[in-house]
Amino acid sequence: MHDLWDRLFHKEAAEETNTDKFLVVGLGNPGREHKGNRHNIGFMAVDRLAEVCQIELSKVQNKALVGNGRCANQPVILVKPQTYMNLSGDAVGALARFYKIPPEKVLVIFDELDLPLGTIRLREKGGAGGHNGMKSIINHLGQEFPRLRLGIGRPPGKMPPAAYVLQDFGPDDLPLVAEMLNEAVRAVETFIQEGINLAMTRHNTQRKQEE
């Protein structure tokens, strides 16, 4: 009887450990008018991840669209803040606290002007780099959380960056965008399974020759 109890206890303990979740956040602006914007590539990445992992983003919680499920055989919560970009931290901070997820298991995906279109870069931690959504999240979580930057390139000519990021991707961009989103999904899966260091080693070489 004691052996049976011990086996059941250890099984329950293992299952409790396996419920440690990852919070995967894509940044963007809500609303149909922003759906195809360069600034919404984070939303697009989470949508693609939801499709691959068969997770439905249907729950509204803490000012965000949320989906619970499994990716790469690990429990994850996918998040698209609905606060508009510069208040993204309101949603992310509240969800991280609610689910008791430490910063090192919060992965934030966002657009990066200083990377060529199609390039992805993972980092273990860091500053906001001028990105308002990241500034807001850092205000809530500090700088010690991983992030995945998706390159959208610099604006042409003298176009202001603020106008550029709120434009839709052009038709010629879309094949490269699709390729980048698929690579982003693979990077997230590696991060969840193997950790940030291996994910950086494996995926940060994408399109290196073009930088």
> Does 174 have pLDDT greater than 90?
yes
Name the average pLDDT for the chain.
Answer: 90
User: Does pLDDT of 25 surpass 50?
Assistant: yes
The tokens describing 132, both together, are: 């308002």
CB 82 within 8 A of CB 91: yes
Does pLDDT of 77 surpass 80?
Answer: yes
pLDDT of res. 169: 97
Please give the Cα distance from 41 to 77 (Å, whole number).
Answer: 18
pLDDT surpassing 80 at residue 13? no
Count the domains in the chain: 1
Q: Which of 82, 39, 38 is nearest to 59 (CA)?
A: 82
- Closest by CA position to 120, among listed 183, 165, 36: 183
In the set 2, 10, 39, 140, the catalytic residue is 39
Q: Is 14 among the domain residues?
A: no
pLDDT surpasses 70 at 206:
no
Residue 92 has pLDDT above 70, yes or no: yes
Active site residue 2: no
Q: Within a domain: residue 27? A: yes
**SS3 state at 149:** strand
pLDDT for the residue 209: 39
CATH label of the domain that carries residue 200: 3.40.50.1470
Report which DSSP code applies to 127.
-
Query: Which neighbouring-strand residues pair with 168?
Result: 37
Distance CA 181, CA 37 (A): 14
Domain membership flag for residue 1: no
Query: Would the pLDDT of 208 be above 60?
Result: no
pLDDT exceeds cutoff 50 at 18? no
Instruction: Answer yes or no: is 15 within a domain.
Output: no
Residue 193 lies in a domain: yes
Counting every residue written for the chain, the total comes to: 211
Tell me the per-residue pLDDT of 140-169, one tens digit each, with 9 for 90 and over. Answer: 999 999 999 999 999 999 999 999 999 999
Integer Cα distance of 105 and 199 in angstroms: 13
Share of the chain above pLDDT 90, in %: 86
Per-residue pLDDT band for 3 (boundaries 50, 70, 90) equals low
Instruction: Answer whether residue 168 is part of any domain.
Output: yes
pLDDT of residue 210: 44
> Does 9 reside within a domain?
no
Domain containing residue 66: 20-210
In the beta sheet, which residues pair with residue 80? Answer: 65
- CA atoms 118, 119, 123, 129: torsion sign: negative
Segment 165-188 mean pLDDT: 97
116 assigned to some structural domain:
yes
**Predicted local confidence at residue 139, as pLDDT:** 96
What would the two tokens of residue 158 be?
């003298």
Mean local confidence (pLDDT), 127-136: 94
